[in-house]
Structure 1
Amino acid sequence: MTPALETQMLVKRFGGLIVTNEVSLSVRPGARHALIGPNGAGKTTLINLLTGALTPSGGRILLSGEDITATTPFERVRRGIARTFQINQLFNDLTPLESVMLAVGERLGHGNRLFRPLAADRAVSEEAAALLERFRLADVMCLPTRDLPYGKQRLLEIALAIALEPKVLLLDEPAAGVPEEDRHEVLAIVRALPADVTVLLIEHDMDLVFSFADRISVLAAGRLFAEGTVEEISGDPEVKAIYLGDAA
């Protein structure tokens, strides 16, 4: 089976510092794949390479078998990669409904309709409202995004990514900074993501990782240190020593 997402000997150097060191990672279609590792392991750098925010110093990136190493971030979105960020990247002056309508409208090719408000497009507004309902945001969809609780903002960012109908979704610590009383909503939404979307999750919350992932890759010092099932990784003494610790 052709991997949904693959890296081959991927390298990223910043001067003399090697941050991504010959990483070869394969994510199967429909996978729930987690990427874990200690701080400074190179996880976010790897995500930035996958999305085109950074240019590799060596190696290749393939999406469904097609080499996308030289493509722009915009082209990668068009081809089916979407991401969320460790720190929210949202339209604070817009409402959730307006934000998701922009994402849906862009996906449908309505972004060039300069003289027709998106609100006049019933199909766009209905799809956006249904998506917000699914992401437990219906009760706040008409509030300014800046006024939403942080947990709701995290849900909105995931909803915006799903509105693009990606083949591969990269989630960069979706539960980071979310208050404990709101985490259950974020965790429930992450676990309920569409089965046909391949998900690569970066996360420090081991409860989320172990309840979500069907495969785990461990980065350490920019290298792929270990890979396996939840049972294999949680029981690996070397992984525990560098990252998981006694809490595992």
Structure 2
Amino acid sequence: MSDLVLETRGLKRNFGAFVATNDVSLKVERGARHALIGPNGAGKTTLINLLTGVIPPSEGQVFLEGDDITSLASFKRVKRGLTRTFQINQLFNGFTPLETVTLAIAERNGIGHNLWSSIAGYGQIVEEAAELLARFGLASIMGERTVILPYGKQRLLEIALAFASKPRVLLLDEPAAGVPEDERHEVLSIVSDLPKDVTVLLIEHDMDLVFSFASRISVLVAGAVFAEGSVSEISADARVKAVYLGENA
């Protein structure tokens, strides 16, 4: 089996005359903790949208485990193991974490429509949901309404929800955005400790988090791959410092 799990070749997306992504060729290895960084407007979220099928490319291809998925619908990519989170959470505020994750697992198993009235009769699914919540540090608040949870816990719940689909590739779009400083490292630490057969591609602006999390970093500037390498290579790259990291690098 190839070590390459996700790949783009010459990926380009135009919005009228504006080029959001320009000839992006990216390779993500199986089990990697790969970070995608760049200044605002660099095309990072557009690239994630292209990877997940939210928008089609103007040119280029996307491959998942060697298969061309460029024309595959978003929900079919999820079924193939490519799952994402968003900058703004997509949670049901009136649900508890246990209800939320139980429903996600039921949907994965094709029986979600049966759970709306009661989850009492689905003990095995509820047990799996509880174990998953424990993995994400949410066991103690699994019965609380999501709307009252601290924001850091909401972000962890959203990642747990994505993980419930059993992804092989997990795309995280700024998972620590808006999370208080004392909770940010908890979020990335839990993600970093996920099983190594789950590949993680992370967009994040906090460079301390990126450098503590990533095994490889790709830098986007003006929609194109500007630099790529290990943490030590990127942190020492004078060009990257000049266009992005600045004096705090």
- TM-score normalized by structure 2? 0.96
Tell me the residue number matched to 2:142. 141
The unaligned stretches of length 5 or more in structure 2 are none
C-alpha spacing 1:13/1:119, structure 2 compared with 1 (3 Å): farther
Task: State the alpha-carbon separation in 1 of the partners of residues 103 and 198 from structure 2.
Answer: 21
Deviation at 1:109, TM superposition (A): 2.2
By how many angstroms is 1:113 displaced?
3.4
1:149-198 deviation digits (Å, cap 9, x = unpaired):
10110000010011111000001111110011222321321221221101
CA distance in 2, matches of 1:217, 1:191: 18
Secondary structure in structure 2 of the residue aligned to 1:188: helix
CA contact (8 A) 1:3 1:27 kept: yes
The residue aligned with 1:131 is 132
Alignment-derived partner of residue 175 in structure 1: 176
Alpha-carbon spacing, 1:180–1:115, altered in 2? closer, same or farther (3 Å): closer
Q: Tell me the TM-score normalised to structure 1 length.
A: 0.96
Moved more, 73-82 or 111-120: 111-120
Q: Percent of aligned pairs with the same residue? A: 65
> Structure 1 residues 217-226 or 117-126, which shifts more?
117-126
| Contact in 2 for aligned 1:93/1:146 (Cα 8 Å) | yes
The CA RMSD measured in Å over matched residues stands at 1.3
Q: Give deviations 1:129-162, integer Å, cap 9, x for gaps.
A: 1111111111111111111110110000010011
Q: Which runs of 4+ in 1 moved over 3 A?
A: 112-119
**Equivalent residue, structure 2, for 1:190:** 191
**Take 1:238 and 1:179, find their aligned partners in 2: how far apart are those partners?**
30
Give the whole-Å Cα distance in 1 for the aligned partners of 2:38 and 2:115: 45
CA distance in 2 between partners of 1:177 and 1:85 (Å)? 12
Q: Which runs of 5+ in 1 are unaligned?
A: none
Is 1:158 the counterpart of 2:189? The answer is: no
Measured after TM superposition, the shift of residue 111 of structure 1 is 2.3
- Aligned residue pairs total 248
